[in-house]
């Protein structure tokens, strides 16, 4: 008598269906593990190459190489003579260790929090703010011969954080208080520097330079402008198209 076997392809309503194989595909698992390992490595590299990390590293390198400072510093006469790169590069020149340390500390903290949301907004801020601040100084401070420091950009990062927190105040009441505190500190600091012409944090006043409050006001202004742009606001969370699609599916 012939034993009956089990068909690997059962017929259901006249249609033949191939059963999925239960065997483990070792090659696919190995490829997935390799891809995951590369992704983790590339992610670590991208974190080291983040916009904020690159900006801070640039400031440290310029300070360690004094020969670059004369080529990069904001010099009004040189800019008007056609050396327009100084409008951007001048912010990475610092005049003392205290000057460098204060600016790097503020930008490192504020930039790290900004990048936790998205690195795109941080990159946009770091690319736009130097040109905007320097152009404002070129027009608003005609007697300013030289300028250097990341303080204007650091101020822009702090104001950007405050504006982000203010936008989340309805979902998180604590965010509203955070925004109020940051904006109040910005106002008090700028007012103090405007009337005293002294820096509130960089206290080495004997270094031969003075604070330029207009650069901080311009930093706050460029942060506000970028925050109000639709592209900048959608970059802070999910893309605008995806946000509309999500809202349509949940309503």
Residue 76 lies in a domain: yes
Is the distance from CB of 94 to CB of 59 less than 8 angstroms? yes
Is the distance from CB of 169 to CB of 175 less than 8 angstroms? yes
Strand partners, 12: 15
CATH, residue 133: 1.20.1540.10
Residue 224 lies in a domain: yes
Confidence bin at 196 (pLDDT 50/70/90): confident
At 72-117, the pLDDT tens digits run 999 999 999 999 999 999 999 999 888 899 899 999 999 888 887 7
- If one counts the domains in the chain, the total is 1
Residue 249 lies in a domain: no
Residue 11 lies in a domain: no
Residue 213 lies in a domain: yes
Residue 183 lies in a domain: yes
Residue 144: its pLDDT value, please?
93
Instruction: Give the helix ranges, DSSP H, for the chain.
Output: 26-48, 51-64, 66-72, 76-80, 86-89, 97-117, 119-140, 151-167, 173-196, 213-228, 230-235, 240-250
Residue 19: its pLDDT value, please?
42
At 108-152, the pLDDT tens digits run 999 888 887 777 888 999 999 999 999 999 999 999 999 999 999
> What average pLDDT does this structure show over 21-42?
54
Residue 63 lies in a domain: yes
Is the distance from CB of 51 to CB of 43 less than 8 angstroms? no
- Burial of 168-203, coded b for 16+ CB within 10 Å and e otherwise, reads beeeeeebbebbeebbeebeebbeebeeeeebeebe
pTM for this prediction: 0.70
Domain containing residue 166: 51-238
Residue 243: its pLDDT value, please?
37
Q: Is the pLDDT of residue 231 over 60?
A: no
At 209-222, the pLDDT tens digits run 788 999 999 999 99
At 141-182, the pLDDT tens digits run 999 999 999 999 999 999 998 888 888 777 877 877 887 888
Residue 111 lies in a domain: yes
Residue 206: its pLDDT value, please?
47
Alpha-carbon Rg for the chain in angstroms: 27
């Amino acid at each position: 008598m012939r034993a009956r076997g089990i068909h690997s392809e059962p017929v259901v309503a006249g249609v033949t269906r191939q059963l999925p194989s239960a065997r483990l595909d070792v090659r696919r698992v190995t490829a997935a593990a390799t891809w995951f390992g590369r992704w983790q490595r590339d992610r670590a590299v991208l974190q080291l190459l983040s916009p904020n990390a690159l900006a801070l590293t640039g400031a440290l390198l310029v300070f360690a190489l004094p020969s670059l400072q004369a080529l990069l510093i904001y010099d009004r006469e040189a800019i008007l003579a056609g050396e327009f790169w100084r409008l951007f590069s001048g912010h990475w020149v610092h005049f003392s260790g205290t000057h460098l340390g204060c600016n790097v500390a503020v930008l490192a903290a504020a930039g790290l929090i900004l990048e936790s949301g998205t690195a795109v907004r941080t990159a946009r801020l770091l690319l736009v703010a130097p040109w905007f601040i320097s152009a404002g100084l070129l027009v608003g401070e005609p007697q300013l011969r030289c300028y250097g420091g990341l303080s204007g950009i650091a101020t822009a990062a702090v104001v950007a954080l405050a504006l982000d927190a203010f936008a989340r105040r309805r979902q998180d009441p604590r965010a509203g208080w955070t925004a109020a505190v940051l904006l109040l500190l910005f106002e008090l600091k700028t007012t103090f520097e405007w009337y005293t012409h002294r820096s509130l944090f960089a206290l080495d006043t004997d270094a031969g330079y003075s604070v330029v409050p207009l650069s901080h006001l311009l930093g706050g202004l460029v942060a506000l402008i970028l925050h109000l742009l639709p592209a900048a606001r959608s970059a802070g969370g999910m893309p605008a198209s995806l946000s509309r699609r999500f809202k349509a599916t949940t309503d």
